[in-house]
Amino acid sequence: MLEKEASTEIESILSEARERASEVVARAREDAEGLVAGRQRQAEAQRNAALVRARSSAQLEASSLQLRAQHQGVEAVFGEARKRLEQLLDDSDAYPPVLAKLLAEALEGLDADRVEAVVVNPDDEDAARKAVKDAKLAVEVETSGDVRGGVRLRLKGSNTVLNSLFQRLEVLQSELASEVSEALFGASKER
């Protein structure tokens, strides 16, 4: 009987131990699954953050390359404009009327008595003398290597008026850069 009682007691203890072991194993499984799920979420979040950073970096680099290409394209257009202005200066038939027009524009709004001299590039001296004569100005024509593609009027006092093709291009370049960029790159976006 003692043996039977002991056997029943052992069976009861073993049953209780199995139950507890089953509970511990179930809790351990839940904890392990929770840890795995948490690490998966963390890894997914890190992966997504890395993708966002990579996309942002790629977009920034693409924008930078596009801006650089646009700047180079605009610079090339204005470089070509300068080249064509140089060609115009070398054209002995086409340039003298342009020089006369630049002189007339520089004189607009000025009292002719205030003009002391017309300063031009040494290459333009003959054309300038003719333009001054045609404009009925009684002033000297002087030359200076720093005047290219236009005229500089030296006025009484210390003022001057510069009207040159290159100066105009420089002034207009900042104003026209966006329009040139739109003409070059805006049309390609629509295609």
Q: What mean pLDDT is predicted for residues 47-63?
A: 95
Model pLDDT, residue 111? 85
Model pLDDT, residue 185? 78
pLDDT at 164 over 90: yes
pLDDT band, residue 190 (cuts 50/70/90): very low
pLDDT band, residue 1 (cuts 50/70/90): confident
Nearest to 153 by CA among 108, 88, 123: 108
- Please state whether the predicted TM-score (pTM) of the whole model is above 0.95: no
Model pLDDT, residue 149? 95
Nearest to 181 by CA among 47, 33, 75: 75
3 state SS of 95: helix
Nearest to 164 by CA among 87, 113, 105, 80: 105
Residues facing residue 50 across a β-bridge = none
Instruction: State which H helix or E strand residue 7 sits in.
Output: helix 2-90
Model pLDDT, residue 93? 94
Q: Is the separation of the CB atoms in 166 and 85 below 8 Å?
A: yes
Model pLDDT, residue 187? 53
| CATH class of residue range 93-169 | alpha beta
Q: What mean pLDDT is predicted for residues 30-55?
A: 95
pLDDT at 11 over 80: yes
Q: Quickly list H helices, 91-190.
A: 95-107, 125-134, 165-181, 187-190
pLDDT band, residue 191 (cuts 50/70/90): very low
Model pLDDT, residue 85? 95
- 94 phi and psi, to 5 degrees? -85, -35
Distance CA 121, CA 145 (A): 5
pLDDT at 154 over 80: yes
Mean pLDDT of the chain: 90
pLDDT at 66 over 90: no
Q: Exposure of 187 by Cβ count < 10 A (0-12 exposed, 13-18 middle, 19+ buried)?
A: exposed
